[in-house]
Amino acid sequence: MIVREVRERPRALRERSIRFPRWTLPFFALEWIWDWLAFLLSRWTFVVVLEYLGSLSILVAVFFYFHDADNRTQQRHYQAWQVINTAQGKGGSGGRIDALQELNEDGVPLVGVDVSGAFLQGVHLHKARLIRSNFSAADVRNSDFSDADLEDSELRSANFRQSNFTNASLAGTHLEDADFQNANLSDCELSGATLDGADLRFVTFTNLGWNHILSIKRANLFGVRNAPAGFLQWASQHGAVQIEKDEDWENGDHSK
């Protein structure tokens, strides 16, 4: 709301300066000129119009800011996908951690994303839709995939040490030679998954959905925590091992 002050007509300069030394007269003259200018502008309707136009311009700017919000979001998503696709097949991060997290936080499906060989340590992809994604040979240690859907994804030789897969779906995934040491796979679904040669030492398996695992040959289950009843026996019968040291496991010494 614009409130305009009605200004009084300035007094004569002689009346204002009569009490003060003569050497201060130039300063009072300058102030007197500005008072007259303010008085004249306060009576000019055009100035009032300019004040209203200034307020209107602010409202217009706010309107267009919110009106273009969708376009700005689409532009951000386009740039994030450009970062991911440009770095495809390359090592390092290349800005892909921030790009993946931004898209996921905005609810954008990451179906089929290819980040094979990327450095993605500590990426947070909670509830991400990663169906048919490719994380092969990626370094994804200390990351969060809780409640994520990675069904039918390629995770071969990836490093997921100390990552969180609580309540994630790994159904139909290829986990051959992947490293899950100290990861949390509680309430995780592994139906149709292939875990041949996977490093599953010290993994937490609380409420694991394991009944329809396709293959688990040479997978290392040493020190697993909270394994479901019957899982370790079944895994041993299908070629899994429990070996503490890397050299013994690599040499195929199942007696350790």
Task: For residue 107, give the amino acid letter.
Answer: G
Q: What is the pLDDT of residue 89?
A: 81
At 77-113, the pLDDT tens digits run: 999 999 999 988 888 888 999 999 999 999 999 999 9
Virtual CA dihedral for 170, 172, 178, 184, nearest 10 degrees? 20
Integer Cα distance of 62 and 21 in angstroms: 53
Structure tokens at 29: 């003259």
At 207-245, the pLDDT tens digits run: 999 999 999 999 999 999 999 999 999 999 999 999 999
10 Å CB burial of residue 232 (0-12, 13-18, 19+) is: middle
Q: What is the pLDDT of residue 256?
A: 46
Integer Cα distance of 181 and 110 in angstroms: 25
Task: For residue 17, give the amino acid letter.
Answer: S
Integer Cα distance of 196 and 218 in angstroms: 6
Q: What is the pLDDT of residue 23?
A: 53
> Average pLDDT, stretch 23-36?
60
Structure tokens at 22: 């003569």
Domain 91-251: give its CATH architecture.
3 Solenoid (2.160)
The candidate with the shortest Cα–Cα distance to 148, out of 133, 132, 126, 163, is 126
Residue spans of the domains in the chain: they are 13-67, 91-251
